[in-house]
Structure 1
Amino acid sequence: MMFKIFLFLVLAPTLIHSLDTVFNDDVLGLIVFKAGLEDPEDKLISWNEDDENACKWVGVKCDSESNRVSELVLDGFSLSGHIDKGLLRLQFLQKLSLSRNNFSGTINPDLPHLGSLQVIDLSENSLSGKIPDEFFQQCGSLREVSFSGNNLSGSIPESLSFCVSLTKVNFSSNKLSGKLPSGFWNLRGLELLDLSDNFLEGEVPEGIQSLYTLRTIRLRRNWFSGNIPGDIGGCLALELVDFGENFFSGRLPESMQRLSSCSSLSLGGNSFIDEVPEWIGELRNLRFLDLSANNFSGWVPVSLGNLQLLEKLNLSMNEFTGSLPESMSYCTNLLALDVSYNLFRGSLPSWIFKRGVRSVSLSDSHPRGIPSIRAASGGLQVLNLSSNSFSGKLPSDIGALSSLQFLNMSKNDLFGSIPKSIGELKTAYIVDLSDNRLNGIIPSEIGGANSLRDLRLQKNLLTGKIPPQIEKCTELTSLILLNNNLSGPIPAAIANLTNLQNVDFSFNQLSGSLPKELTNLSRLLSFNVSHNHIAGELPVGGFFNTISPSSVSGNPSLCGSIVNRSCPNVHPKPIVLNPNSSNSGGGSSSPNYGHKKIILSISALIAIGAAAFIVIGVIAITVLNIHARSSMARAAAPLTFSGGEDPSGSPTTDPNYGKLVMFSGDADFVAGTQALLNKDCELGRGGFGVVYRTVLRDGRSVAIKKLTVSSLIKSQEEFEREVKKLGKIRHHNLVTLEGYYWTPSLQLLIYEYVPSGSLYRHLHDGPDRVSLTWRQRFGIILGMAKGLAHLHQTNIIHYNLKSTNVLINGSCEPKLGDFGLARLLPMLDRCILSSKIQSALGYMAPEFACQTVKITEKCDVYGFGVLLLEVVTGKRPVEYMEDDVVVLCDMVRGALEEGRVEECVDERLQGIFPSEEAIPVIKLGLICASQVPSNRPDMTEVVNILELIQCPSEGQEELLE
């Protein structure tokens, strides 16, 4: 016994030291860190506290000599929780990367105190609060730090200026505010600085030339003002400069011509003035140049021809005059050119079609003359010549553009016929020739353009019939032919275009009856045949059961319940048949009293045939219904819950099983999974899919959106990550995403159910159309603004603002729905977004037509402006009158200019509204719907303005309720 005690006393210090080394440093620190996390995908299952060291754990890298943890990289592991102090035990850690997770809470100010930490990457999480000033007070050997893509607020700490060892700083996509720290340019070793997408303000101070190692600087989308620092040319290593979408003004500093290494220069969306200096041609390494949305004037510099490496050039939304210089023919690498919205007067240069340019946008730039495209490069994919003064005929060789995907020549003065070669545009998915003077027929060869998704030929002088060959364009979603002189019947072949969503044949000379087969178009959102000569009975079923009366008005011979005109019944004269008569000549013979006379009319025969047909149909439908339900049961049976088990509690091993996840509450449905997609509970259809209502086990109703874009959905991992981010968004004026269901072929989103219908129905449609008071309307506008501002603060662009996507709850408060769904569809480019997502005419911002202009929150601001005017006026964004089409923004703007803006307020308010509120609100709507994105305010500013406007006069408030 004495020997054992002696042995313990001798060895105890060694044992205790060994245990302390193993359990109180790397292993213990990581186990403590793991204990505070949620790991839904068991990514950290290899982290075992019984291991001698952590070197074989996933995400962990050790120094080969000391076996101490040197790197911890857990990017994209779907982890959540707080960043625990256990990490402070990793005293030899050099790199900490936890990006693309769901970590929350604040930043631990002690992290840089780790002895050898060089890299910290906490980007794309849900961290909030301020960046602690202590974080940079003892930053030691820290070289790289990234907090981008979080919800951090407050100012950039002054202590950052003392971390002279820093080479990369990325605080982008947060809510940081205030001015740059005064000593910011002391970071002499800085190579990358990214502060974009914040609320930083004030002037950028001089002294930036001290950053002689700086290669990348991004200050995009802040509130910086004043001039660009005059000494920026001293940063000779600069390769990328992005100051876009701020409030910079004045002239470009002369020193910028010294940035000979610069390959990307983005200054768009500011207020720079005067001519673009000729020295711009000295930046011979430029590959990307964006000067759009400024106040530049004068001629485009001839020196641009020196930029032989230039690939993308954006000069749109300025006041350039003259013509594009011929010297630019030397820009042999040019791929994308956007000079839309300028004041050019010269001819369109021929070099545009002779080089390898893939995207050309000259919308509303006013050049003259279209050169021949016979020698055009086969690589041209986007050609936008809309809203100009081009006259003459469409080039007969337009089919030579064999790679063209987007063609827009609308709003010009083109005449003549549509060339037959248009059918050779095999890859084109958008063709817009509207608002011209084109005549003749729509060529049957149009069927050759079988990739078309959007065909717009409205407001021309086209005659003849709609060619049935259009059915070969099986991808069509929009077919707009209004305001022409088309005649003849609507071809039944159109019913074969099963992807159709928007059809407008109004204001033509079409005749005949509507094909009954049109009811098979299950994705229809709008179908307008008003002001034609359509006769007969409206189709019954599908979309046509709820079609708006205005969509079929102006057809006097059309009948049906929608137009409140009964269809005449034809009763032919009965025919008496005598089965015993052998007189073929029609003479009578003696009656045979041994047999009864058989008397059958034509109508009776028809009735018998119809009854037989109905019986057969019922049997067929019953069989199909049984098959469909069994298919649905098979599709619904694999549902699993977030715990990874099926409803019976047994684990799921079948890889074809789906996954049902509810973010909170019950994850079971009253009628089982087969009730998820009950057609009897269909609520509506939109650009992303069909919405159904169902009931949870706890009695709560939810809305189920079945996505109809499965082929474009991301992988399951990325889909779930994006959906979970959307599920975290909570705001009083946003529809809550409560869960989702995933299989490779079926994706469902589960939303809260908002019972009172959409804003569209309250304003325009059916029995739900009510006379909202002014106070209710103002509340709806303010609520929409707050919801949208919250989305933008979380870096979500809605993309799909329209009155059908604004739901009204029982307290007449708005909730924005369908937000952020574009994040699930990476394969959607702008042209598809403009037709698929922004399907409602009138809400789409004009920059959707400019391929090289980045889509930003300002597109949502435009849509909000249109929505605001819709609420105030009670009118749709586009109204079809008897002989005209009225665009709401244009109408209100004209009324404002003529001093009669109060006449625009909805007549149902009967003059009971405060003009001191109504007129400023209308003006705000017009500002939001400005054609130039930089002129539109941010939604946070919109909310502030609305709250300032909201000041009803004493005694008026009761009157307005």
Structure 2
Amino acid sequence: RDLSHNDITGPIPSTLGNLTSLQAVDLSQNKLNGTLPVELSNLPSLHIFDVSHNLLSGNLPNSRFFDNIPDYFLSDNSGLCSSRKNNSCGAVMPKPIVLNPNSSSNPLSQSTPSSPSSKHHKKIILSVSTLIAIAGGAAIAIGVITVTVLNRRVRSAASHPKPAIALSDDYLSQSPENDASSGKLVMFGKGSPEFSTGGHALLNKDCELGRGGFGAVYKTVLRDGQPVAIKKLTVSSLVKSKDDFERQVKVLSKMRHHNIVTLRGFYWTSSLQLLIYDYLPGGNLHKHLHECTEENTLSWMERFDIIIGVARGLMHLHQHGVVHYNLKSSNVLLDSNGEPRVGDYGLASLLPMLDRYVLSSKIQSALGYMAPEFACKTVKITEKCDVYGFGVLALEILTGRRPVEYLEDDVVVLCDLVRSALEEGRLEDCMDPRLCGEFAMEEAIPIIKLGLVCTSQVPSNRPDMGEVLSILEVVRSPQDSPGDEMV
């Protein structure tokens, strides 16, 4: 179950260990505290347990699963301890000495605390000549360091000319934890040369647009005034080598289509990778479907246009050998005219291998869109996985319902709900009530049936995106006026 980003507080209940059939749960990006219950060791079917970005503490439960759990499932929980990381909770680690150039205090005075009595019995007396010698040596050392630093700065300025494109200083923030001393920023297109730049995080938390399984997205502005969206990848430890990363990113940058978000560039250091995209002011489709009022809901024509636009974008990707892997409503963005553009495509190709364990937990964070073959190691992952996700997305657009809804005592899967309605002859009951009946039944029914075919459990029974687009274009007959089609 995906319970991430819900501001859940308190400890994880030990009764979770009674759910012996539990296979996957995502509790990341919440405010959970306390220790991980030992009862979790009793879950034989559990293969995904993401509790990253919480406030958890204590040792990991002793079980085979937690002995092999990936570190990124536990990241950003400063109190969690693990013997496999040589970080046992029982160990008392000495406080490190941190030299802060912005601090006037003596760091050594904080690292060796002593009681007044110990100071009384341990006095160190230095002669005047010794003090003078120490001071002289320190002055010489400072002089040598200063000259060395100045020489390095001069050489650095000569070898790294000022870049032709720079990010606005208003949107820069230092991030020494995630940045190296220098990084490589490459912008694609005419007049956008490849260049090296200083170690900036290029991000501003106040401009965060959202988070997903692959990373957080921020809005920033280039110095020429162009707004862009920057995706900070949160799977740095899994990303390919620099050369492979650049090669694959350049392939993705060539995916130019009216219904695809353009990849404008990338930024690389060994510990930080950023992808730079066009910024689209219309927001993502998920917000329009699930967070808008009835007055601002998408019309039938707008929904049909979005479905066709997404189909065109996916077909273009597939024609160029790119599999999306993570199609969902939050990865469909709208421009200022309401035109859809598919984003976050092909990010799985940046990993060293298509690890299904990683894909199902981080990339495919919305389990409702995931094709069933992701759970079977013997079945090849192909474009038909995207077709399945498209079918779920089409049903989501028509019904206004989420792919999976967790009720108090039940779980409603959208595909199953619509399939039952089709068998009982009440498809009109599935349509989004916010449309108030203003939709074309002659178009809605074929699209619903197409969505169900796309979500077939057998990949070979699903059409390809070219066939999907052909069907959609036939369904929308240009000779019929919109007024005659409304029920």
Instruction: State TM-score, norm by structure 2.
Output: 0.65
Aligned amino acid, residue 821 of structure 1? L
1:647 equivalent in structure 2: 162
Deviation at 1:444, TM superposition (A): 2.2
Q: Distance in 1 between matches of 2:389 and 2:308?
A: 15
- After superposition, the C-alpha distances for 1:356-399 in whole angstroms (9 at most, x for unaligned) are xxxxxxxxxxxxxxxxxxxxxxxxxxxxxxxxxxxxxxxxxxxx
Is 1:867 the counterpart of 2:393 in the alignment?
A: yes
Cα distance change on mapping 1:788 and 1:906 into 2, 3 Å:
same
Deviation at 1:645, TM superposition (A): 3.6
- What secondary structure sits across from 2:256 in the alignment? coil
Aligned counterpart in structure 2 of residue 454 of structure 1, from 48, 51, 74 = 48
1:660 equivalent in structure 2: 185
- After superposition, the C-alpha distances for 1:735-757 in whole angstroms (9 at most, x for unaligned) are 00000111111111100001111
Deviation at 1:839, TM superposition (A): 1.1
Q: Which has the higher contact order (CA 8 A, sep 6+)?
A: 2
- What secondary structure sits across from 1:781 in the alignment? helix
Is 1:444 the counterpart of 2:35 in the alignment?
A: no
Is 1:883 the counterpart of 2:409 in the alignment?
A: yes
Check whether the contact 1:761–1:768 (CA below 8 A) recurs between aligned residues.
Answer: no
Aligned amino acid, residue 925 of structure 1? G
Deviation at 1:881, TM superposition (A): 2.8
Structure 1: state its 5+ residue gaps.
1-416, 423-429, 435-441, 457-466, 479-495, 501-516, 522-621, 624-637, 639-643, 650-654
1:818 equivalent in structure 2: 344
Q: Distance in 1 between matches of 2:391 and 2:368?
A: 11
Cα distance change on mapping 1:769 and 1:788 into 2, 3 Å:
farther
Cα distance change on mapping 1:932 and 1:811 into 2, 3 Å:
same
Q: Distance in 1 between matches of 2:208 and 2:295?
A: 20
- After superposition, the C-alpha distances for 1:102-152 in whole angstroms (9 at most, x for unaligned) are xxxxxxxxxxxxxxxxxxxxxxxxxxxxxxxxxxxxxxxxxxxxxxxxxxx
Q: Distance in 1 between matches of 2:431 and 2:163?
A: 58
Deviation at 1:944, TM superposition (A): 0.5
Q: Distance in 1 between matches of 2:202 and 2:267?
A: 10
Is 1:679 the counterpart of 2:270 in the alignment?
A: no
2:309 equivalent in structure 1: 783
Aligned amino acid, residue 378 of structure 2? T
Q: Distance in 2 between matches of 1:771 and 1:673?
A: 43
Identity across matched positions, percent: 59
Q: Distance in 2 between matches of 1:808 and 1:648?
A: 32
Is 1:935 the counterpart of 2:461 in the alignment?
A: yes
Q: Distance in 2 between matches of 1:710 and 1:941?
A: 37
1:698 equivalent in structure 2: 224
Cα distance change on mapping 1:787 and 1:477 into 2, 3 Å:
farther
Spell out the pairing of 1:202-351 with structure 2 (5 A cutoff). Answer: none
Structure 2: state its 5+ residue gaps.
1-15, 26-35, 51-56, 81-101, 104-152, 154-158, 165-179
1:837 equivalent in structure 2: 363
Deviation at 1:647, TM superposition (A): 2.1
1:567 equivalent in structure 2: none
Deviation at 1:769, TM superposition (A): 8.9
Q: Distance in 2 between matches of 1:893 and 1:868?
A: 14
Aligned counterpart in structure 2 of residue 773 of structure 1, from 299, 307, 332 = 299
Spell out the pairing of 1:464-543 with structure 2 (5 A cutoff). Answer: 473=66, 498-499=74-75
Cα distance change on mapping 1:935 and 1:696 into 2, 3 Å:
same
- After superposition, the C-alpha distances for 1:463-506 in whole angstroms (9 at most, x for unaligned) are xxxx986667498699xxxxxxxxxxxxxxxxx97449xxxxxx
- After superposition, the C-alpha distances for 1:214-235 in whole angstroms (9 at most, x for unaligned) are xxxxxxxxxxxxxxxxxxxxxx
Aligned counterpart in structure 2 of residue 858 of structure 1, from 363, 371, 384 = 384
- What secondary structure sits across from 2:429 in the alignment? helix
- What secondary structure sits across from 1:658 in the alignment? strand
Q: Distance in 2 between matches of 1:835 and 1:791?
A: 23
Check whether the contact 2:219–2:279 (CA below 8 A) recurs between aligned residues.
Answer: yes
Spell out the pairing of 1:17-56 with structure 2 (5 A cutoff). Answer: none
Deviation at 1:674, TM superposition (A): 4.5
Deviation at 1:952, TM superposition (A): 6.5
Check whether the contact 1:761–1:769 (CA below 8 A) recurs between aligned residues.
Answer: no
Is 1:792 the counterpart of 2:318 in the alignment?
A: yes
Spell out the pairing of 1:64-213 with structure 2 (5 A cutoff). Answer: none
- What secondary structure sits across from 1:842 in the alignment? helix
Cα distance change on mapping 1:433 and 1:752 into 2, 3 Å:
closer
Q: Distance in 1 between matches of 2:433 and 2:412?
A: 17
1:708 equivalent in structure 2: 234
Deviation at 1:849, TM superposition (A): 1.0
Is 1:432 the counterpart of 2:26 in the alignment?
A: no
Higher share in helix: 2
Q: Distance in 2 between matches of 1:842 and 1:880?
A: 11
- After superposition, the C-alpha distances for 1:393-451 in whole angstroms (9 at most, x for unaligned) are xxxxxxxxxxxxxxxxxxxxxxxx989xx9xxxxxxx97299xxxxxxx982645999x
Q: How many residues align?
A: 359
Q: Distance in 2 between matches of 1:711 and 1:838?
A: 18
Q: Distance in 2 between matches of 1:855 and 1:797?
A: 9
Aligned amino acid, residue 447 of structure 2? V
2:278 equivalent in structure 1: 752
Q: Distance in 1 between matches of 2:24 and 2:214?
A: 27
2:29 equivalent in structure 1: none
- After superposition, the C-alpha distances for 1:660-713 in whole angstroms (9 at most, x for unaligned) are 110025579xxx975721111111111111111110122110011111111111
- What secondary structure sits across from 1:872 in the alignment? helix
Aligned amino acid, residue 924 of structure 1? L
Runs of 4 or more off by more than 6 Å in structure 1?
Answer: 474-478
Deviation at 1:956, TM superposition (A): 2.9
